[in-house]
Amino acid sequence: MTVPDKPSRATWLQGPAAPCETVPKGGFLPWRVILLGAPGVGKGTQAELLNQRLLACHLSTGDVFRGAGSRNDAEQTPAMQEALACMRRGELVPDMTVWELVRERGECLHCTGGFILDGFPRTVPQAVSLKQFLDKDGLGLTAVVSYELPASEIVSRLGGRRTCEKCKAVYHITQRSPKVEGCCDHCGGDLFRREDDRPESIKLRLEAYNRSTEPLIEFYRKAGLLLQVSATGSPEEIYDRTMPELETRRLALAAERMWAAEENRRDT
């Protein structure tokens, strides 16, 4: 078996029947991170950068829906057809459909290499389902990073976005352009413009974010997991702001865990 140079997302993108070539790093405290933020704030871009450093898979629910959309209609369940119609309009997919899709990929959430969730959870009911699922097996989250950016900049980022149809790498026509126009630097795949990056869909997506996703900021603040990070500047600058926050949080978690183990040892 050849060891991939970065984690494989086969199981996440295609479903539990797909082979996963990831060789989990394992260890004391796997990174289990959620990225929150409005559409176009740069979650996918940061997930790619973080994935190279943390070696935890980048798991995006949006990528799963787009992957299903590129397959034959006959292979899609009615729930998936409804999900794709919601996505094209810029609306959120119903919670039950999203949770079913995540639940059936539960192996990825149990991976000892950890995970970076991008685009999930997006509503309070989704966050509650995820919490119950993780708590059941003692899988604690490391942190929830909430990226923040003014709406005008978000619209310009979405308007120039291009995505690789094969490996899903994300580019921008002026801010983060590929070496060869229309062609992915990583795998040579064709770059395409997402259907939901049309102005009317962008408006609906931002409204859905304000209505349904923003309450998660309070949800995770109360849980003591929230890290708020400004998404202004270049992707590298944002990454440089994110990593120290994550490292500090993880050190605190490691100290908490060692303290609890020590107390346990004394009690027995």
Residues with a catalytic annotation lie at 43, 122, 161, 194, 205
Query: Which is closer to ligand AP5, CB of 24 or CB of 178?
Result: 178
End-to-end CA distance of the chain: 44
Interacting residue with ligand AP5 among 143, 226, 238, 246 (CB under 6 A): 238
CB of 88 to ligand AP5, least distance (A): 8
Stretch that binds ligand AP5, among 38-46, 74-82, 214-222, 247-255 (CB under 6 A): 38-46
Interacting residue with ligand AP5 among 12, 31, 115, 120 (CB under 6 A): 120
Which residue minimizes CB distance to ligand AP5?
62
Q: Which amino acid is at 138?
A: G
Per CB under 6 A, 44 contacts ligand AP5 = yes
Interacting residue with ligand AP5 among 119, 129, 184, 249 (CB under 6 A): 119
Q: Is 9 exposed, middle or buried (0-12, 13-18, 19+ CB in 10 A)?
A: buried
Interacting residue with ligand AP5 among 235, 243, 245, 250 (CB under 6 A): 235
**Total residues binding ligand AP5 (CB under 6 A):** 37
Task: Decide if 37 contacts 148 (C-beta within 8 A).
Answer: yes
Q: SS3 string of the chain?
A: CCCCCCCCCHHHHHCCCCCCCCCCCCCCCCCEEEEECCCCCCHHHHHHHHHHHHCCEEEEHHHHHHHHHCCCHHHCCHHHHHHHHHHHHCCCCCHHHHHHHHHCCHHHHHCCCCEEEECCCCCHHHHHHHHHHHHHCCCCCCEEEEEECCHHHHHHHHHCEEEECCCCCEEECCCECCCECCECCCCCCEEECCHHHCHHHHHHHHHHHHHHHCHHHHHHHHCCCEEEEECCCCHHHHHHHHHHHHHHHHHHHHHHHHHHHHHHHHHC
Binding flags for ligand AP5, 150-189, as an x/- string (CB under 6 A): -------xx-xx--------xxx--xx-------------
CB of 197 to ligand AP5, least distance (A): 7
Query: Which is closer to ligand AP5, CB of 207 or CB of 263?
Result: 207
Interacting residue with ligand AP5 among 12, 113, 141, 196 (CB under 6 A): 196
CB of 11 to ligand AP5, least distance (A): 17
CB of 155 to ligand AP5, least distance (A): 10
- Segment 59 to 98, residues that bind ligand AP5, using CB under 6 A: 60-62, 65, 86-87, 90-93, 98
User: Measured over all CA atoms, what is the biggest interatomic distance in the chain, rounded to whole angstroms?
Assistant: 64
Q: Which residues of the chain form contacts with ligand AP5 (CB under 6 A)?
A: 37, 39-45, 60-62, 65, 86-87, 90-93, 98, 119-120, 122, 126, 157-158, 160-161, 170-172, 175-176, 196, 205, 234-235, 238
